[in-house]
Chain A
């Protein structure tokens, strides 16, 4: 290796979408009028005590299983003490030395399809803080909204196994996909239900053949997938330049914190290790140790769905669809489920996949909804695909039928029958229409014979028009071509 390369580890915080908060019974929901989803417990009032929401533990166990982690049979909570206005108790209930899960991994794939394992150090449970709002209202006031305070978080810490910004993005995307699959989080970076901090240092080869390692930098305030790539790419260059200027290497004690400035596309120094808080961790006396029972473990196993990469491989092999189609279908677990449900009726799986990925997806995109809100039943789409496959209707008509299915909720076979939309497949009928069109459009015939191939398209169009779209397009083309010889 003669180029500098990065050593990257990622710390991801994921907000769990349990019904209520981690340690009180306030509703766990994004947004809302400030300070309305609060209670004396999450506001840290005198005499208040935390009570663990066991759903948080269930979700954490499920995540642990999905990431191949070792589950700690005894786990406990600790207080992480620091002062900040968005932290009502002056401490965050977190986990320090006995986190709920240790180890695990996420696989990422490179362009050639090689699998690389990114190892996970640990997973632990903690509570979120409130939100500070700095209004640009002319006063110098800042405001605090405690609605988010006490929301359950899962922190996933990776080993520093990541070797490029691209790998970092892949890791994050896979993690997001897994957590969406097991349905424990919305994983929405814009809403803050998925947050990422990166730890990065560079290995720089020197002329004499040795290598140096730059000090580790923690990069915070990354709020989108594209920003992760940009922030890491920027840091890589900055660290190498810094080393050239200062010659400072990693001595195990000089970690720094930088913040990513989205507007300028740069990272900005925030504080050195000396400026870091001493969190004075100690065991949370208000919450007893938690024993993970066999029942809790087996419940987690039962809840664990088929994970994305396994599903992709199976869809490919079971249904014979392309890996690209398998990839796209499985991006949303419910889309994959819809496809499989559809294939119980449809006989041509590839056509089914294609229809879902083009016609249905375009509707979903236009209306900004997901497949869960899509009202047409998968078995009806299956039926539609069968009508297409056996040439009962043309693809043109299929679109019309599809629209009618959405608007009326009727089954495709019903619509085709009621409106007489069956394709004209009968050669005798079809040739009559073709001949009629040819006789009515002598100029086009002339144009075609003079080499204008567009004329064929025009004549096709006329056949469709005359047949009200029901002409079998393949046969029509054959017949026209035959007649025009």
Chain B
């Protein structure tokens, strides 16, 4: 496929060639198998994609086309697709095959989408470079010497490399937006509660949302309009359909008020990132957008707050991987007691970053420390979230760079986890507050690395957010 293809372009291509989805997918399968050797976007490629495509051919023939008919979409490997391995890029789930679909997968399939495969990620979604994957790194298709970001690096790469028109990822502290930014594509995280988490392997339950990676905001809205909705299997979902999701329109920004967070363009921000973002902001101003710089001093606490709450929830969510019911069970002959079996299984099965976060999580929840760390972090979370929400009393949107740093070179951060954590400064507050946000391509650095701009909206204004993003991408240059 041509890279950066939207669903509309894809559909028109299929019609023009006239050879149908089955043929298209036969070719795509070969293309992926060949080119993904280098990129390593996929952990599992769907070998049956051609016959899945044939089903779409039949629907088209009978004039029963469904909303996502034939759309090639890749799925991050922490979202369950029945009867296909779900590894979460971990050795502990290396051969785990779920007997269930995530709710979003049922919806995608009913809408006619074709799953191209399960994409690579940081192990258990913990990371920002996809380098902690048990199945090797993924390369950034824009420049193979650089990381694609994380934790949904494989998802972003699959779209940037033209292996799929769209991808589903998961975003807990920026894991859909940041890789989209690094790979020069669109990454969108819905308002918390808009999309069901049933079937998404839990990492930080109060932060996780399934999000989309695509080449434009229109496709992000299209896919999300299909997968969103209250789900009886997930008690944290809400029964709200955002405006502008159906009959999606690009929304003129003239007269709209944008708050740029000063702390996101500080001296800690890469100068190239600053240049690209300020330039884009200026273009927005020229097209009629009202720009104001707003200070949120509390922003500096966002990383600390997140790296207490997320590991705490993760340490609990990952307790179920004990080698007893599914997944890896240690082969080393265990001592006869079960504690040994569980300890050895987890020691062998988890990578370093995962272990780091589990230990951190246990610590901040432990008796004697709970009040000082976890409880305090939750209080600070509310203060930070309120600050963000207050801004929407006077502004329509908030703008930041998606990442204050340029994409990392492969291997650059592997020995410096804290450096990596601080690069999540701009994306984390969005998850802490449960807000919707999208990263759109804003330009390139001097050396050709993509820079993304993040736009944040009030809760459930997802449709307007994406309409605005669509306008900026197509009209604001």
What is A's interface to B at a CB cutoff of 8 Å?
40, 43-52, 79, 81, 83, 85, 88-91, 140, 142, 144, 146, 278, 280-282, 285-288
Contacts and interface: CB of A to CB of B under 8 A. Distances in A.
A201 to B, nearest CB: 23
B379 to A, nearest CB: 13
B367 A52 contact: no
A236 B339 CA distance: 34
A377 to B, nearest CB: 44
A45 B99 CA distance: 10
Interface string B331-350: 00000101100100000000
A338 to B, nearest CB: 42
A48 B233 CA distance: 9
8 contacts: A45-B100, A47-B78, A47-B199, A81-B365, A90-B322, A280-B362, A282-B365, A282-B374
Contacts of B79: 47
Contacts of B312: 282
Given A79-B316, A285-B206, A46 B96 contact: yes
Interface string B92-110: 0100101110100000000
Contacts of B98: 40, 45-47
B79, B100, B234, B318 interface centre (most CB from chain A within 10 Å): B100
Interface in B199-254: 199-202, 205-206, 232-236
A83 B319 contact: yes
B313 interface: yes
Given A44-B320, A79-B316, A280-B367, A49 B93 contact: no
Interface string B449-468: 00000000000000000000
Contact of A47 (B201, B236, B319): B201
B324 A85 contact: yes
Given A90-B320, A285-B313, A286-B235, A46 B93 contact: yes
A79 B342 CA distance: 20
Given A47-B201, A49-B235, A286-B236, 14 more contacts: A40-B99, A45-B320, A46-B78, A47-B198, A47-B202, A51-B235, A81-B316, A83-B322, A88-B325, A89-B319, A285-B206, A285-B236, A286-B235, A288-B236
Nearest to B231: A49
A46 B316 contact: no
Name the prevailing secondary structure of the A interface residues: loop
Chain B's interface size range is 35 or more
Contacts of B205: 285-286
B293 interface: no
Given A40-B99, A44-B320, A47-B199, A287 B325 contact: no
B78, B316, B336, B339 interface centre (most CB from chain A within 10 Å): B316
B80 A46 contact: yes
B79 to A, nearest CB: 7
Contacts of A91: 316, 319
A85 B365 contact: no
B366 A85 contact: no
Nearest to B206: A285
Contacts of B324: 85, 144
Contact of A85 (B99, B201, B232, B322): B322
Considering the complex of A and B, which 7 residue pairs feature the smallest CB-CB distances, nearest first? A90-B319, A280-B365, A285-B205, A285-B206, A46-B201, A44-B320, A47-B199
A106 to B, nearest CB: 32
A142 B370 CA distance: 35
Contacts of A288: 235-236
B137 interface: no
Interface in B77-91: 78-80, 86, 88
B336 A140 contact: yes
A47 B103 CA distance: 10
B92 to A, nearest CB: 10
B78, B202, B319 interface centre (most CB from chain A within 10 Å): B319
B202 to A, nearest CB: 7
B301 interface: no
Given A43-B325, A282-B316, A142 B234 contact: no
B59 interface: no
B313 A46 contact: no
B197 interface: yes
Interface string B357-391: 00000100111001000100000000000000000
Contacts of B86: 46
A48 B197 CA distance: 8
A287 B237 CA distance: 10
A79, A282, A286, A287 interface centre (most CB from chain B within 10 Å): A282
Nearest to A43: B325
A49 B322 contact: no
Interface string B116-157: 000000000000000000000000000000000000000000
Nearest to B88: A46
Nearest to B338: A85
Contacts of A140: 336
A45 B326 contact: yes
Nearest to B327: A46
Nearest to A84: B338
B76 to A, nearest CB: 12
A51 B200 CA distance: 15
Nearest to B319: A90
A40 B234 CA distance: 14
Contact of A278 (B102, B316, B342, B367): B367
B89 to A, nearest CB: 13
Contact of B320 (A49, A51, A88): A88
A46 B320 contact: yes
A85 B342 CA distance: 9
Nearest to A51: B235
A51 B233 contact: yes
A278 B366 contact: yes
A147 to B, nearest CB: 13
B235 A287 contact: yes
A52 B235 contact: yes
B322 to A, nearest CB: 7
A393 to B, nearest CB: 62
Nearest to A48: B198
Nearest to A23: B235
Contacts of A51: 232-235
A91 B86 CA distance: 23
B370 A280 contact: yes
Contacts of B99: 40
A484 B98 CA distance: 93
Contacts of A52: 235
A52 B199 CA distance: 17
B325 A49 contact: no
Contacts of A81: 315-316, 319, 365
Contacts of B236: 49, 285-286, 288
Interface string B411-441: 0000000000000000000000000000000
Given A278-B367, A280-B365, A47 B80 contact: yes
Contacts of B96: 46
B206, B320, B338 interface centre (most CB from chain A within 10 Å): B320
Nearest to B79: A47
A166 B318 CA distance: 46
Given A47-B102, A288-B235, A142 B338 contact: yes
A293 B78 CA distance: 38
Nearest to B200: A47
Nearest to A284: B205
